Structure 1
Amino acid sequence: MQIALLAPLPPEQNGIADYAGHLKQALEDLGVRVRTPLQGIGNDPQAARQRVAEADWQGINLVHAEIGGGRLAEFHALRALRQRFPHLPLTATVHDPERLVWRRQALPWPLSLAASLRSPLPEIATVLADPLCLHEERQLARQMTRLITLTQTGNRCLQQRMGLRQEQMAVIAHGNLPIAPLPLPPLRPLKLLYFGFIYRGKGIEDLLEALARLFVEKPGLRARVRLTLAGGSEPEMAFGASGSYLEQLRQRIRELGLSDLIGWHLDLPASDIPHVIQAHHVMVLPYRESSKLKILGQLRGTSGALSWATACGRGAITSDARSFAEEVSHGNGLIYAQGNVQALTQALASLCEQPQLAQTWADQAAILGRQRVWNLTAERFQQLFQHACEVH
C-alpha cells in the first residue's frame, strides 16, 4: 500500500508534527509506503493547493491528513484533492473536534474590512463569518471516507456537529512510544510535573496559585512538594505584544514565594522527555478552554503531553477541559473543574495526604501505555486504510 500523508512533520515545533512523525515511522515499519507531498510548505493554504495541482498522485491508494492546531494547509489540500479526484479515498485524524479547523483562511468582504480595526471588531467579524466556515467544514467532512478522533468523546461531538454518518467515524487512541518502565521515585518529596508547550492558555497560572494556596492552608507540606515546569517555549507563542510569557511566569512565581520549590526544563530534546517524566510522580495539566472558542463550539481534543504520561507509566491530575475526563477515566488520574483553583488545590492536597495514589495511577497508566504503543496503533491505522480503500 502507498499513501500520501498531509501533515506537519518534525522539525516543526508542535504536537501534531510529533504525532505525524511517529505515525509515519510506524506505518513504514509495517511496510506501508508513505509520501509527504506537502512537506516544506509550512502552513500555506495556497501552496498546499498548488502542490495538489502539481504533485504526481499516480500509485497513491489513499490520502491521510492530520488536521488541527489552527493549521489550514491540510484542510485546503483535502478540498482540492476531493475536487480533483472524486473517488480517491480520503481519511484524516481530527485533533480538535468538534470542528475541523475552526477558522477560514480569510474573512469574506465586507467583514474582511474589520481585520485591521481595533479589538473587538475583528473578533466580532470572525463570529459573523463562522456560519460560512462551518458550512465549508461540513462540506469537506461529509465527503471524507473516514474521520478518526483520539477519543470517544471527540468522536461523538465531531459526528454530531458535522452531521456525519456512523460508518464514516473511527476512534484510534493517541499512540505512544514504548518506554521502558521505571519505578516511582521515593514519595518524599512529592514531585509534580507540568509538561507541554509553555504559553498562555495552558492554565499554568492556576497551578501556581493552587500550589501557593496549598502551602498557606497546610504549611507543613511546603517541605514535601516540588514542581517542575517542562516543555517547549515556542517563540511565537511565548512572546507577544504583552512581553515574554516565561518572564511573566517567573515574576508570578517570585510574587507567590515559590522560587525555591519550582524547577525548569525548557526545550527538552525528545530523548530526554522520558527521563524527566519518570523522575516525577504525577503530571499536572491545568488546561483551560478558550473563552473565544466557546463561542464557536466545544474543543474536545486530547493532549500529546498526557500521552507521554501514559507512555512513561505516570498518572495525571488534569482539568476537565477537552477530552481529559475520558483519558484519565482508566484509574490513571484525577479530574477537577477547569479554572477552579480551589478544586485544584484540593486535588493536590488529596494526593499529598494519600501519596500512594501516585503508585496506583502509575500502575494503571503503564497498562494503558502498553496498549497504545505506536506499532499497535499503526496496525489499527493500516486496517482502517485497507477498509477505506475497499469501501470507497
Structure 2
Amino acid sequence: MRILIGVQGTGNGHLSRCSALAEALSMYPDVHTQFLISGRDRNQLFDMDAFGDWQWRQGLSFVVEQGRVNVPETLRRNQWGQFWHDVKALDLSEYDLVVSDYEPITAWAGRLQRKQVIGLGRQYAFYKPTPSLPISLAQRQMLRWFAPTDRPVGMHWFDDASHILPPIIHQRGRTQTMQPGHYVVYLPFEPLAAIHELLKPFDGVTFHVFHPQAERQQVGHIHYHAPSRIGFAEAVARAEGIISNAGFETSSEALAAGKKILVKPLTGQFEQTANAQCLQRSRLAQVMWKLDQGAVAEFLEHGMANTCHWPNVAQAVAEWLHNGAQEPVHELSARLWQRSEFEDYMECLRSY
C-alpha cells in the first residue's frame, strides 16, 4: 500500500502530530508512506527524521507581524502562481490513499484529479458544526476552501461530533520528573524582546523559552532555546506549566501531561481564538488576550493543572489507514472515545 500524507508545515503542531503518525505507520512493513511538507521554508524545518525521504513544496502560509496575522500581506506574499503549478504537477495516481493534515497542495490536487482526500487534523474539527467550537459560516467556508477534503477527520479535546477523534499525542518526553517552579514558554509569533519583558519581573521562577529567533543562552532566570521537538517535549514533561499560543497540539500535549496552561491566542487567527475560548469555558486553561504581566502573575499563583487521558490515537489511525480506511469515521470516532472513557476509569482506579 502506498500512502501520501501532506503536512502543513507552518505550525510545529502539524509536524509533531504527523511525526507520531509516521512512527506508528512504520510498524507496518507493507505500507510505504510518502510525506509532502509545505508552508515553511525548507531550511527552517527541523527534527525531520521521522518523515524519511520527504518532499517539500512552497505551499501557502500566514504572514504574522507583532503577534498578529497580517491578512493583506498574507495575500500579497504567497506565491499563488507557484502554488497552482505545484497542485497541477502533483500526480496522485500511484497512491492508494491520500491524506492531508491541512496541507493545501495535496488537498487541491485530490480535488482536481477527483481522488478522495482524507482530511486528518485539528482544522477538520471545524469542517462541520461542532458545539464547543462555534465559528461563523464565513470562517467555516474559508477553512473548507484552504485544504478541501471529501472525508474530514477532525480532532478535539471532547467527544463533540461524529467526525472527531481525540488528539494524537507524541509519547516522547513523558517519563521526565516534574520540577516545581519551572515553566515552558512557547510564543513563536511574539517578538522575543516582548517575551523577555513579559517574564523579567518573575525572578523567582525559571522559564524555558523556545522561539524561532532564540539561541541557546541563559539570561538570569530565563533560559532560551532554539526550536526542537524532542527538547521541547522533554522540557514540557519536566515543567510545572506552560505559557503558549492557543495552538491545538501544544495545548493537547500539556493536557495529556497534566500541566497548568496559560494561552495567548494569535490575534486575527480565528481557530486559535476558538481554541482559547473553548479552553477557558471548560476551565482547562487560563487565557490572556495580549501579553500581560498581571495575567502571568495570576497564572503562576493560582493556575490549576488538568489531566486528560486519551488513548494512543496515532496507533489507531495508523491501523485504520493500513486497513484502507474502510471503517466509517463515525465508528472510528466512537471506538476511540469509548477507549478514552476507559482510560479515565482506569486512572480513577489508580488514584485510590
Category of TM-score, reference length = shorter chain:
0.5 to 0.7
Indicate yes or no: 2:150 matched with 1:145: yes
Q: How does 1:144-293 map to 2 (within 5 A)?
A: 144-151=149-156, 169-185=163-179, 187=180, 190-195=181-186, 198-200=188-190, 205=194, 208-209=197-198, 212=201, 222=203, 224-231=204-211, 233=212, 238=213, 259-268=219-228, 270-285=229-244, 287=245
Indicate yes or no: 2:93 matched with 1:57: yes
Q: Percent identity?
A: 12
Measured against aligned partners, the alpha-carbon deviations of 1:225-255 in whole angstroms (never above 9, x if no partner) come to 2222124x1xxxx5xxxxxxx69xx9xxxxx
Counterpart for residue 338 of structure 1: 289
Counterpart for residue 302 of structure 1: 247
Contact 1:283 1:317 in 2 (8 A): yes
Partner Cα separation in structure 2 for residue 41 and residue 330 of structure 1:
38
Partner Cα separation in structure 2 for residue 206 and residue 309 of structure 1:
20
Note the C-alpha offset of 1:172. Answer: 3.8
Counterpart for residue 374 of structure 1: 314
Counterpart for residue 75 of structure 1: 104
Q: How does 1:4-15 map to 2 (within 5 A)?
A: 4-7=4-7, 14-15=12-13
Q: 1:18–1:350: structure 2 CA closer, same or farther, 3 Å change rule?
A: closer
Note the C-alpha offset of 1:208. Answer: 4.3
Question: What is the aligned-residue RMSD (CA, Å)?
Answer: 4.5
Partner Cα separation in structure 1 for residue 143 and residue 174 of structure 2:
41
Q: How does 1:339-354 map to 2 (within 5 A)?
A: 339=290, 341=292, 342-351=294-303
Q: How does 1:16-35 map to 2 (within 5 A)?
A: 16-30=14-28, 32-35=31-34
Contact 1:318 1:335 in 2 (8 A): yes
Q: How does 1:321-332 map to 2 (within 5 A)?
A: 321-324=273-276, 326=278
Note the C-alpha offset of 1:138. Answer: 4.6
User: 3-state SS of the aligned residue for 1:184?
Assistant: coil
Partner Cα separation in structure 1 for residue 321 and residue 184 of structure 2:
31
Counterpart code for 1:282:
G
Counterpart code for 1:318:
V
Structure with more helix by fraction: 1
Counterpart for residue 296 of structure 1: none
Counterpart for residue 86 of structure 2: 48
Partner Cα separation in structure 2 for residue 373 and residue 179 of structure 1:
17
Q: 1:137–1:266: structure 2 CA closer, same or farther, 3 Å change rule?
A: closer
Contact 1:191 1:281 in 2 (8 A): yes
Counterpart for residue 124 of structure 1: none
Partner Cα separation in structure 1 for residue 36 and residue 287 of structure 2:
42
Partner Cα separation in structure 1 for residue 291 and residue 225 of structure 2:
26
Partner Cα separation in structure 2 for residue 136 and residue 382 of structure 1:
31
* TM-score, normalised by the number of residues in structure 2: 0.59
Measured against aligned partners, the alpha-carbon deviations of 1:191-241 in whole angstroms (never above 9, x if no partner) come to 222036x33379x847843763xx6xxxxxx4x32222124x1xxxx5xxx
Q: 1:385–1:276: structure 2 CA closer, same or farther, 3 Å change rule?
A: same
Query: Which runs of no fewer than 5 residues in structure 2 stay unpaired?
Result: 38-54, 60-81, 128-137, 266-272, 332-352
Contact 2:173 2:234 in 1 (8 A): no
Partner Cα separation in structure 2 for residue 63 and residue 23 of structure 1:
14
